[in-house]
Amino acid sequence: MDKSKDWELEMLMEKLRAKSSQFKTFFESSKALRMALLEKRYAIDSVERSQLHKCLDTLQQNIKVTTLQAMVERLESVSRQLGLKFVAGPSGLEFFISSEMFYLEVMLEPNGGVKDVKVHHEGKVEQQSCEELVACLMRRDFADLTAQLEGLASIYQLNAEKRVKCKAFLALTSLESDLSMLGSMQPLSKDSFQLVHKSPVGVLQKRRGGHPMKLVYFVSPYDLLDPLTKTSKPLVTEGLDVGYNVTVCMEGSTAHKLQTTTLVNVNRAGKLNIPVYTPLSSQNSASLPACFVLKLNQPMPMCTALVRKIQTVTEIEFNDFSSAHPLLSLITQHTSGGKLDNTDSRGIFVNLPDQQHCYFMTDSQSLDAVLINNIPFTHPAHVPQILTYLRQQALFNTVISSCIRPNTKPEFV
């Protein structure tokens, strides 16, 4: 019986081998699709063209990039998907990915290797080589390239004319310079915990290509647990990729005054460096249909009292309190992915190696909360104050979340 099944399997595999030799390779199929798109004898409507482009993109995503032609086709595919222009230079080794407000000059080697990538923003005279973009292309990491191009394009997503959009980039880079200044004022310390949780801007990671500036402001003990060794890893600030963080971005909005130059100065008092913030004025700011935004790396349940305190600092309303929920209930639902609610009369169970805990949480009517994703602001002085409130909420949420295990069932002896 087993021999019969083995024979049937071998016959089936032989048929598959014979059939597979008739199929074209991904590269050949990609070439045929490109020729179909260039064919002028037959009219192709916009829907058909879109479908052909989609098929072409799917094929190219599965072709290993080992030649110059494959690299060029993949760059063209990424550009097309993002609505960016793709143009080849006269040498055949230079390629330009561009929008209205910026362009990338990608310089390749004859073998498809990457020589350099330069970024040019409208209104800026100089081009800058970008190590982050060079590295991602050398890794053939086109998902990262896509993310970086989206990040660069997002700076200019404003309902405004070209000259106004130029000021948006100036405003964002001025803010980044001020936040970098605040980060450098932190006294040199080997205590990583202090740097993350006590410094004005947490652990600051500067803009990398199209990746925005990141501020890591809270790391819980759970973030440092190694599930394999079941031990706690040391908190290292270099390349920190765990914990709560925000990215510094810009978004279109109603008109706000935003800086066009740096606003932070340092006042040295003995061994202390004290930041001095220059108020916005007609000389150092411009009215733009935008605001700065701190984007949280994950939605955060936050009590409405803290949200209102942040709004008092920034003078910008950013959340609808009509959808507020009791704080403990919102944290429980958010942490468990909607599987648990603290209103369950049976309690919330946590199994430990030698015991089981059961927690009952009672909400207070004065502790309503909302989920927040973004926090708008207009001045660098707002950032340290916002992070102070975010740390308070992150600490509270971490304590409550430690009592929530969505997959734990009660074990009664």
- pLDDT mean over 336-342: 78
Q: pLDDT tens digit string along 273-314?
A: 889 999 999 999 999 999 999 999 999 999 999 999 999 999
The rounded distance, in Å, linking the Cα atoms of 328 and 330 is: 5
Q: Is the pLDDT of residue 410 over 50?
A: yes
Phi, psi of 119 (to 5 degrees): -110, 130
The pLDDT of residue 220 is 93
DSSP alpha helix (H) spans, 82-190: 131-138, 142-154, 162-184
Q: pLDDT tens digit string along 363-409?
A: 777 789 999 999 999 999 999 999 999 999 999 999 998 888 777 66
- The two structure tokens encoding residue 409: 């069932």
**pTM > 0.75: yes or no:** yes
The rounded distance, in Å, linking the Cα atoms of 3 and 6 is: 5
**How far, in Å, are 26, 173, 288, 316, 354 from residue 178 at the CA level?**
49, 9, 19, 21, 51
